[in-house]
Amino acid sequence: MCDPVRKKEKFLIFGSPEIGEEEIGEVVSTLRSGWIGTGPKVAAFEEMFRVYCGSDHAIALNSCTAALHLSLLALKLEPGSEVITTPLTFCATINAIIHAGLVPVLADVDYSTMNIDPEQIEAKITPKTRAIIPVHFAGRPCQMDLIMELAEKHNLYVVEDCAHAVESRYKGKKTGTFGRFGCFSFYVTKNMTTGEGGMVLAQKGEDAAWIKMLALHGMSADAWKRFGDEGYKHYYVVESGFKYNMMDIQASIGIHQMNRLEKNWKRRKEIWDQYNNAFSEIEVIVPEKPAKDTRHGYHLYTILIDRDKCGVCRDEFIKRMTYHNIGVGVHYLSLPEHPFYQRQFGWNPQDYPNASIIGRQTISLPLSAKLTDRDVLDVIKGVKYSIGA
Ligand SMILES: *Cc1c(COP(=O)(O)O)cnc(C)c1O
C-alpha cells in the first residue's frame, strides 16, 4: 500500500493560501508609503467587506479572537452570565467567552451537519443565559431562523462566529448579519487571509464605535489620525482597552483577497464536487449536502473515518496521508477533550456524543483555491491508498 513510487513528490501543505502579485504589489506600495499602521487601507478594506456583506458597520481587527472578545464585551453582560456555543469549534471561541468574564456552556452538534443543534441549545438555557454563539462550521450556515427565534423568545444576544463563513448565506442573507455581531477570521488557512486578521460586523453605530475604541487602547475616537496630515491631535483614554487594531500592511493583502473571493469560492466548490464524486464508492463519510436555500462557504472538506467501515482508525489514516505527502487537518477534537476545560468546567466528552465522535473520526482534506488539478488527484489517490481501497 505504501508504494514510495506513487507518493506525491513534495509535501502538500494544508490550507496554504493563494497570494497573488496584486497583494505583493500592494504590500510593497504600503511599505513605501510611510504609513504602515492603521490608516486609509484599513478603512478601504472595511468598506469593501461591509458592502460585500450588506452590513451597516464593519471594523477590522487583528484576529477573529479579538472580534469575538470585543463583541462579547460590547454586550456589557453581568460577569458570570452564560453563553451557549458548540463543542465542535476552535478553542478561541471558548477562550473569548472566558476572557470576557462569562461562562461557556456547550450544546451538542447535529452529527450530519456538524452545526450546533437548536434543540440542544434550548435544553441548555438557564436563567443565567444571555447569549448564543453559533459557529457556521466548515462554512455551512447554522439554522439561523430557529436560532434567532430562540434568541427572541428567551431574550438572548446572538454573536456569530463566521471564521469559516465569509461567503456563506442563509436564505439569501449573509452569515454575520443575523446576530448583533458577526466575527470573521483572516488567519492564513481561512477562505481569505491577511496573514493574521479579523473583522466584526455590527448592526448599531454605537456598538461599532465602542469596539473601535476598545480595539485601540480605549482611546477616544479616531486616535489613529493623531499623527496624520491634519497635525498632532490629543487623545483621551476613556476605557482600559486592548491592542487589537489591524494594520494597513494586512489590509493591503485583504483588499486583493476580496477581489478574488468569488473566483476562489468557485474553485473550492469545483474541488469539493470532485472529492464527492471520487469518494462516492469508498467507505469514507463525505460532508452532508448543503441545505436548500443556503450558500455553503466550502471552507473545510471533512471526511469521517469510521474504523469499523474503513478498516483503519483516524490517526493511522493521518499517518498514511502524511506518508503520501498530503497535509491534512483535524477540525476539531471536541472541546471537552482538552484538559484545561475538563479541569475548569468539568466537561466530559461523553456528554457531547456527536461532537466527540466527529472529533475522533474527522479529517479535513486540502481545499485551497491554490490546489492544481494534479494536487486534487493526488489527494484523492492518497485517500484511496490510506483506507486501502
Ligand atoms: C480560526 C477560528 C477562530 C479564530 O480566528 P483567529 O483569526 O485566528 O483569531 C475562531 N473561531 C473559529 C471557528 C475558527 O476557525
Residue 30 grid cell: 504600503
Active site residue 212: no
Separation between Cα atoms, residue 76 and residue 211, nearest integer Å: 12
Cα angle, residue 46 at apex, residues 40 and 47 outer, rounded to 5°: 90
Residue 5 has pLDDT above 60, yes or no: no
Sequence spans of domains, the chain: 4-15+261-386, 21-259
Cα angle, residue 258 at apex, residues 255 and 260 outer, rounded to 5°: 120
Q: What is the tens place of the pLDDT at every residue in 252-263?
A: 999 999 999 999
- On average, the pLDDT of the chain sits at 95
Closest ligand 1 atom to residue 196 Cα is 7
DSSP 3-state assignment of 289? coil
pLDDT, mean of residues 270-284 = 96
Share of residues in the chain with pLDDT > 90 (%): 92
Q: In this structure, are strands 181-185 and 157-161 parallel, antiparallel, or unpaired?
A: parallel
| Residue 158 and residue 75 in contact, taking contact as beta carbons nearer than 8 Å | no
Pocket lined around ligand 1, Cβ cut-off 6 Å: 63-65, 89-90, 92-93, 135, 161, 163-164, 185, 187, 198
Catalytic residue chosen out of the listed positions 41, 190, 233, 309: 190
pLDDT score recorded for residue 389: 67
Q: Distances in Å between the alpha carbon of 340 and those of 85, 102, 337, 346, 357?
A: 17, 16, 9, 9, 20
Please, what is the angle between helix 64-74 and helix 205-215, to 10°?
A: 120
Share of residues in the chain with pLDDT > 70 (%): 96
Separation between Cα atoms, residue 49 and residue 72, nearest integer Å: 21
pLDDT, mean of residues 224-237 = 76
Residue 227 has pLDDT above 90, yes or no: no
CA 24 to chain centroid, in Å, comes to 24
User: Beta partners for 82?
Assistant: 103, 129
Name the residue of 62, 65, 69, 159 to mutate for ligand 1: max ligand atoms within 8 A of Cβ.
65
Q: Distances in Å between the alpha carbon of 280 and those of 62, 274, 297?
A: 40, 10, 21
pLDDT, mean of residues 87-101 = 98
**Which of 142, 216, 218 has the alpha carbon at shortest distance from 182?**
142
Count the Cβ atoms, other than its own, within 10 Å of residue 134. 30
Residue 262 grid cell: 468569488
pLDDT score recorded for residue 23: 98
pLDDT, mean of residues 152-172 = 98
Burial of residue 364 (CB within 10 Å: 0-12, 13-18, 19+) is buried
User: Can 4-15+261-386 and 21-259 be said to share one CATH topology?
Assistant: no
Residue 327 has pLDDT above 90, yes or no: yes
Separation between Cα atoms, residue 276 and residue 41, nearest integer Å: 39
Residue 151 has pLDDT above 60, yes or no: yes
Confidence of residue 215 (pLDDT cuts 50, 70, 90): very high
Q: What is the tens place of the pLDDT at every residue in 105-123?
A: 999 999 999 999 999 999 9
Residue with cell 464585551: 73
CATH of 4-15+261-386, picked from 3.90.550.10, 3.40.50.2020, 1.10.357.10, 3.90.1150.10, is: 3.90.1150.10
Closest ligand 1 atom to residue 92 Cα is 10
pLDDT score recorded for residue 6: 63
pLDDT, mean of residues 165-178 = 98
Pick from 6-15, 137-146, 328-337, 371-380: least confident? 6-15
Residue 1 has pLDDT above 50, yes or no: no
Confidence of residue 222 (pLDDT cuts 50, 70, 90): low
> Which CATH code for domain 21-259?
3.40.640.10
Name the residue of 62, 85, 91, 93 to mutate for ligand 1: max ligand atoms within 8 A of Cβ.
93
Q: What is the tens place of the pLDDT at every residue in 14-58?
A: 998 999 999 999 999 999 999 999 999 999 999 999 999 999 999
